[in-house]
Structure 1
Amino acid sequence: MSAYLPKSGPLLVACLLAASPAFTQTPIQPALGHRSIRLLTQNGLSFKDLNKNGKLDAYEDWRLPVPTRVQNLLGQMTLDEKVGLMLISTTRMAGDNSLRGGDGKTEITDGFNEEDLVQPNNMFTRKPLPVPIMSAVGTTKGVTQYHLRHFILRANPPAAVIASWTNNLQTLCETSRLGIPAMVASNPRNHVTIDAAVGLSVGKTAFSTWPGELGLAAMRDLKLTRAFADIARQEWAAVGLRKGYMYMADLATEPRWQRIEGTFGEDADLAADMVREIVLGFQGTKLGSTSVAMTTKHFPGGGPQLNGLDSHFDWGKFAHYPGGLFAYHLKPFKAAIAAGTSAIMPYYSAPKAGPAGEFEEVGFSYNKAIIQDLLRKQLGFKGIVNSDTGPIEMMPWGVENLTIPQRYQKALDAGVDLFSGTADPTILLDVVKQGLVPETRIDESVGRLLAEKFALGLFENPYVDVDRARTLVGNATFQQKADLAQRKSIVLLRNTANLLPLAPKTKVYFETYYDNGRSASPVTVYKPTKATNLELVGTKEEADVVVLWLIPTTGGLFASADKPIDLTLSKNKIDLKHVSTLMGSKPTVLAINFSSPWVLSEIEGDAKTVLATFGTTPDALLDIVGGTYKPTGKLPFTIPVSQQAVADNKSDVPGMQEPKGYALFPFGAGLTYGLVRAAK
């Protein structure tokens, strides 16, 4: 077997067929999707003439093992074509102006955006920009001139529009010299989330709407977690999204880290269980024609950031391990590897000297000891190493003094296969031509990338049924499961006066408080969108009980400053005077949405009935409050007792292992009701 292909491990099980003779069983004709090329017929079977040469090449022969097809295709590719395959960047649909800053919104359609957009950045000059700057290139130019075949879709149009656009993209790729299909990736699209920033989450979409990742962990229901992943897989594949830039195996051990919302909490064993179920739900036990390939991130764990500052920024470039728990953060990644995750993404961070001082202080994408020695040799990962967006040009932590070609050289030597954030292969191409990296090293990475495409069946049929996408994505049956998950994700932390569940017909004033900086008022008085056993009223004066749902926010990751965040409510856009007035007016059910482990010391003494949410809907919260569904959720992380406790924490240590007195509500806390009406 060629040196550039996986020799063992779970990445692409199809690759293991190389050890078996071809055609030992009667071949089953797969569906072949094509637009412009012709089909070849041999022994009553059909094949796509992808390179238009009128004969059946090995890479076109779906009967052959994946490694054989990869080797044949590699032998036909030019260096330009190989290098283009190693880049993945944001792609834009017609009407998508999201990377142009102040441009107004226009309708997004299934056409191509042909505008090049390469913006200068100074992220690596110690003068960080508010958000990372990513280059993009016109779609046709990217495919035909730069030979790009990996794309990140960040736009958020209806499902049918995405499906039609991916078909158009695959049609364009089919016309290329070798007919190599595209791989379209996305960040999560199925969750209720607060920080739906570029690179984190797409936010509310046409897809089924599930709790946030913390909420999934709060359910403590692995069967429903697997069902979520399987449903999301069906939706993604239906529109032509075949790679997920997800999920985060990072642990929420540093409460000030602003990406906790995307984790499965602080407990390594729980996170490992969640990651396993999600990988198997999206991919299956091996990649196939209905799979969505996962990119588990951010190796070796982005949670233990120094002072909680994030490594998107120069001021947050270091991870550290003051508690000596480096190995603890590897557990979820080990589970992902065992489940067969197709790719792993290293984080930008550089490991700070200390308990993990054996590692060079360079970003993990440049860190040979992390990728080659730890990830590949010790943990046995044979799949794709996909850099996070921009470590070459924007976040080259620890290698700032290297030239761009030297950074590529070091990252390739460390083991990166796919570079995210740039659409122009010129410099990487020159790196090879100048002899800084041998072409055999490029072949190693391209072999892995091609093997994934073959295993996913993209060479046979990359096209989707637009009408099916329109009816399948977000359908009522899928949403019914998601609605159950939303209810199971809610945690009852305190019910001191046994106020909950409220009796039927209780008059309730239900208010959400969320200062997102865009609405005229942070207050929304909720009116029901469906039948409820409670009577909702428009003012607190009319009510028997107030339900107040606080949604604190830091302003988002890319609003970060160069100092640790304060987790108290008043520092996260909550008006304490308003809260006090409401809570003093009537018996109050206080619900708080935890996108971070907020410190409740400012109101904690007055809060007799407390619920925790992690990205859910008002209807789900009302069903818990009214007893239609009894609370079963458990906290996925520890809620600290004070901001001083937060400041004193050890970043790599979960709250459950911090000294006595650290927790107001410990990991795993969660009450329920006694006799309640039947759950939905």
Structure 2
Amino acid sequence: MHDQYVLLRLAFLLATVTLATATLSAQSRQQPALGHRSAKILTVNGLTFKDLNQNGQLDKYEDWRLPTDERSRDLLTRMSLEQKVGFMLISDSRLKNEPSMFNPGAQRSNEPITADFSEDDVVQPNNMFTRKPLATPVMNVAGTTKGVTQFHLRHFILRANVSARTTAEWANKLQALCESQPLGIPAIITSNPRNHVTATAAMGTSVGKTAFSNWPGELGLSAMRDLKLVREFADIARQEWVAVGLRKGYMYMADIATEPRWQRVDGTFGENADWAGQVMTEVVLGFQGPKLGPASVALTTKHFPGGGATKNGHDPHFEFGKQEVFPGSMFKNNLIPFRAAIKAGTSSIMPYYSMPVGTKYEEVAYAYNKGILQDLLRKELGFTGIINSDTGPIDMMPWGVESLSLTERYKKSLEAGVNLYSGNANPVKLLEAVKSDQGLVTLVDDSVLRLLREKFDLGLFENPYVDEEAAERIAGNAKFRERAEVALRKSIVLLRNDTKILPLKARTKVYFETYQKRYGAPASGPGIVFSGQDRSYPVEFVSTPEAADVILVWLTPSIQPLFLSDGSPLELSLSKCAVDVTYLNQLMAKKPTILAINYTSPWVIDEVYNDKTKGTIPGILATFGTTPDALLDIVTGKFKPTGKMPFTTPISEAAAKQQKEDVPGYREGAAYPLFKYDEGLSY
């Protein structure tokens, strides 16, 4: 009896200490700033809270002193099944007067670009897998008011490229609309990358240059070989995103560039999985911090378990590219950057459209693949965050499950582990699936809890609003641009410097031509001649190659654009990538030439650089999204080159075709490369 009393007494004391600790912890949390429009403010013991459901009392989910999990579970009990299902969709937003995939023919006018808060009907998607070619995937999207009020959407993708102030104004209007709804649940706004100089910006992959600071492309960040500067980039970009109300990024790609013909190589950090993992770590920590908070941008790392080993380079946006193959048995190599992202705390992971072939896993797209998402991602890799589908696996790219109905596809993908469905604004079919099988309700609740936790951790329930004037001051400010300028220069790689032609001596006469043609258009004729009159350089720019001592050509080839794919063979030779090889060879034969090449893919350059022409091309540089000023600072010696190649380039088209899709170029053998991974010179 005495022993029982002692045990009970100890249990009571432990409970008392635990309660006291929890109370002290709650009381020690500082009063956050509350941003509100329609919600009333409650005052409790001198502290203030938002009455989001406007019932006149402080509910657990409104109490910022409580742990995220407790708040999330309380709110979950207040949500209807319809609200939960709508919460699991993330749809593209629509802006008026902005040309887009929804309104490609729109003309810009003097009328400002604003959010579309119409009650428009849902725009249905094209069946991408039966329409080839398709210029741009069309997502399922609704007018914003209808999406929020009728479909219960609280996740949106912003793809428009507008000013910082316009973005901030739009974000605030959206949050005010959400706050006015019965539970006051805020929205989270997502975007693709917005901070990079890129030649391949496209709807659904990268917004490209914006009002934010402009840094090298992802390959360029990798080529810098400077992890500290990568972290600084991510931290600066984070500040710009938060300032305008963008709190989630569909980025970055942890895929490995093992298949040189894949059209998404330029979104990766290169072909070395270990290095890509190190870069990914810095990116996640720079955007999110050690853990999500009110100053974080939550990241969605993609495309699990890696999409770079796609058969013959074709992308799984299309049926002819749906197979991912592993002839080199290097499936596990793909996982290395994802392991790094998970360890760094990435908030979300996006599976790709591909279906694995020749592995132990079911041959269905990764969004339907329980072995990939549950056994591998959840159990083996220990990921506890959100699994966010890529855009359209239900309606457009249901590889391996084409015979299933829409409701059956939702059921299979839910059971596989998807928590958030991208590219769909209409919850009808998902709701049908859940109502047809009560066992799915548990999976829906699990998904909603994960999504709610992210919102609570980001502080959106306390203040989802931004200062519109501050957004203009912060985005792309002089200090941020200055650091980006350093990165643009550090990303450039010097590959050849025969006869020590670089750096160019002062007063050298230079003919500088930038050559970039649109894929599919006539590639003949010269590019644009650089005059250099807008700033001072130590060299003299001339208007003809005949008047020059040295020719500088900056070449930007162009592979077949992703969304114009038609299933024809993908080739990397310059003549197949919008380059007039005859013109280029004639130009470079006139004077000693420095050839700079902007690499979005591992180009094959043997048509212009071979045993016959090497004598006339003593200098070669690689760029990965940079500016003329940055290139000229390298060429003239104002900035010494330090960059290293993020991938191997094949010596010939035949080499590119014969390589194994899952094997990085540095492991393809001595006969494979022209320029090697990690190659790079300096002065």
When the two structures are superposed, what TM-score results if normalisation uses the length of structure 2? 0.93
Could you tell me whether the CA contact under 8 Å between 1:89 and 1:135 is conserved in 2?
A: yes
The alignment status of 1:501 with 2:503, answered yes or no, reads yes
In structure 2, do the counterparts of structure 1 residues 20 and 154 end up closer, same or farther at CA, with 3 Å as the change threshold?
farther
Q: Match for 2:113: what amino acid?
A: T
Report 1:333-352 matches (<5 A).
333-352=338-357
* Equivalent residue, structure 1, for 2:655: 645
* Equivalent residue, structure 2, for 1:14: none
Could you tell me whether the CA contact under 8 Å between 1:210 and 1:616 is conserved in 2?
A: yes
* Equivalent residue, structure 2, for 1:634: 644
Could you tell me whether the CA contact under 8 Å between 1:207 and 1:474 is conserved in 2?
A: yes
Match of 1:109 among 98, 113, 123: 113
Q: Distance in 2 between matches of 1:120 and 1:414?
A: 23
CA positional deviation for 1:436: 6.0
Q: Which deviates the most, 119-128 or 290-299? A: 119-128
* Equivalent residue, structure 2, for 1:671: 681
In structure 2, do the counterparts of structure 1 residues 536 and 18 end up closer, same or farther at CA, with 3 Å as the change threshold?
farther
The alignment status of 1:141 with 2:146, answered yes or no, reads yes
* Equivalent residue, structure 2, for 1:297: 302
1:298-337 superposed Cα distances (whole Å, 9 cap, x missing partner)? 0000100011110000000010100000001100000000
Match of 2:473 among 454, 471, 480: 471
Q: Distance in 2 between matches of 1:64 and 1:250?
A: 38
Match of 1:662 among 672, 677, 683: 672
The alignment status of 1:306 with 2:311, answered yes or no, reads yes
The alignment status of 1:358 with 2:351, answered yes or no, reads no
* Equivalent residue, structure 2, for 1:69: 71
Kindly name which structure, 1 or 2, has the bigger radius of gyration based on alpha carbons: 2
Q: Distance in 1 between matches of 2:552 and 2:526?
A: 15
SS at match of 2:202: coil
In structure 2, do the counterparts of structure 1 residues 19 and 476 end up closer, same or farther at CA, with 3 Å as the change threshold?
farther
CA positional deviation for 1:561: 2.4
The alignment status of 1:256 with 2:261, answered yes or no, reads yes
Q: Distance in 1 between matches of 2:169 and 2:439?
A: 39
CA positional deviation for 1:104: 2.6
Could you tell me whether the CA contact under 8 Å between 2:134 and 2:565 is conserved in 1?
A: no
The alignment status of 1:523 with 2:527, answered yes or no, reads yes
Q: Match for 2:290: what amino acid?
A: T
* Equivalent residue, structure 2, for 1:604: 609
Report 1:121-132 matches (<5 A).
121-125=126-130, 127=132, 129-132=134-137
1:231-270 superposed Cα distances (whole Å, 9 cap, x missing partner)? 0000000000000000000000000111000000000011
Match of 2:547 among 529, 542, 545: 542
Q: Distance in 1 between matches of 2:395 and 2:115?
A: 29
Q: Distance in 1 between matches of 2:19 and 2:307?
A: 36
Q: Distance in 1 between matches of 2:297 and 2:103?
A: 31
In structure 2, do the counterparts of structure 1 residues 242 and 550 end up closer, same or farther at CA, with 3 Å as the change threshold?
same
CA positional deviation for 1:144: 0.7
Report 1:279-428 matches (<5 A).
279-353=284-358, 357-428=359-430
Q: Match for 1:621: what amino acid?
A: L
CA positional deviation for 1:584: 1.2
SS at match of 2:66: coil
In structure 2, do the counterparts of structure 1 residues 19 and 551 end up closer, same or farther at CA, with 3 Å as the change threshold?
farther
* Equivalent residue, structure 1, for 2:272: 267
* Equivalent residue, structure 1, for 2:488: 486
When the two structures are superposed, what TM-score results if normalisation uses the length of structure 1? 0.94
* Equivalent residue, structure 2, for 1:677: none
Structure 1 unmatched ranges of 5 or more: 1-16, 674-680
CA positional deviation for 1:142: 0.5
Match of 1:239 among 240, 244, 250: 244
Q: Distance in 1 between matches of 2:19 and 2:192?
A: 33
Q: Match for 2:61: what amino acid?
A: Y
Structure 2 unmatched ranges of 5 or more: 1-17
* Equivalent residue, structure 2, for 1:200: 205
Q: Distance in 1 between matches of 2:598 and 2:281?
A: 26
Q: Distance in 2 between matches of 1:276 and 1:614?
A: 21
Q: Distance in 1 between matches of 2:389 and 2:268?
A: 19
Q: Distance in 2 between matches of 1:156 and 1:652?
A: 35
* Equivalent residue, structure 1, for 2:580: 575
Could you tell me whether the CA contact under 8 Å between 2:134 and 2:564 is conserved in 1?
A: no
* Equivalent residue, structure 2, for 1:432: 434
SS at match of 1:433: helix
Match of 1:91 among 65, 90, 93: 93
Q: Distance in 2 between matches of 1:70 and 1:128?
A: 44
SS at match of 1:31: coil
Q: Distance in 2 between matches of 1:116 and 1:270?
A: 46
1:544-572 superposed Cα distances (whole Å, 9 cap, x missing partner)? 21110010001421122213311110100
Q: Distance in 1 between matches of 2:252 and 2:415?
A: 26
Q: Match for 2:284: what amino acid?
A: V
* Equivalent residue, structure 1, for 2:44: 42
Q: Match for 2:401: what amino acid?
A: V
* Equivalent residue, structure 2, for 1:590: 595
Report 1:546-557 matches (<5 A).
546-557=551-562
In structure 2, do the counterparts of structure 1 residues 23 and 57 end up closer, same or farther at CA, with 3 Å as the change threshold?
farther
CA positional deviation for 1:587: 1.4
Could you tell me whether the CA contact under 8 Å between 2:125 and 2:395 is conserved in 1?
A: no
CA positional deviation for 1:429: 0.9
The alignment status of 1:153 with 2:158, answered yes or no, reads yes
SS at match of 1:100: coil
Could you tell me whether the CA contact under 8 Å between 1:384 and 1:445 is conserved in 2?
A: yes
Q: Distance in 2 between matches of 1:50 and 1:314?
A: 46
CA positional deviation for 1:158: 0.5
CA positional deviation for 1:600: 1.0
SS at match of 2:682: coil
SS at match of 1:297: strand
Q: Distance in 2 between matches of 1:210 and 1:19?
A: 49
Q: Which deviates the most, 504-513 or 274-283? A: 504-513
CA positional deviation for 1:113: 4.6
Q: Which deviates the most, 562-571 or 469-478? A: 562-571
CA positional deviation for 1:586: 1.4
CA positional deviation for 1:20: 6.9
Could you tell me whether the CA contact under 8 Å between 1:18 and 1:65 is conserved in 2?
A: no
CA positional deviation for 1:101: 4.9
Could you tell me whether the CA contact under 8 Å between 1:247 and 1:294 is conserved in 2?
A: yes
The alignment status of 1:21 with 2:5, answered yes or no, reads no
SS at match of 1:441: helix
Match of 1:458 among 454, 457, 460: 460
1:145-183 superposed Cα distances (whole Å, 9 cap, x missing partner)? 111000000001100100011001000000000000000
CA positional deviation for 1:578: 1.4
In structure 2, do the counterparts of structure 1 residues 600 and 441 end up closer, same or farther at CA, with 3 Å as the change threshold?
same
Match of 1:446 among 445, 448, 461: 448
1:180-234 superposed Cα distances (whole Å, 9 cap, x missing partner)? 0000000000001111111100012111000000000000000000000000000
CA positional deviation for 1:535: 1.8
Could you tell me whether the CA contact under 8 Å between 2:133 and 2:564 is conserved in 1?
A: no
Could you tell me whether the CA contact under 8 Å between 1:22 and 1:63 is conserved in 2?
A: no
Q: Distance in 2 between matches of 1:110 and 1:245?
A: 22
Could you tell me whether the CA contact under 8 Å between 1:240 and 1:463 is conserved in 2?
A: yes
CA positional deviation for 1:608: 2.2
Could you tell me whether the CA contact under 8 Å between 2:277 and 2:338 is conserved in 1?
A: yes
Could you tell me whether the CA contact under 8 Å between 2:281 and 2:344 is conserved in 1?
A: yes
Could you tell me whether the CA contact under 8 Å between 2:254 and 2:280 is conserved in 1?
A: yes
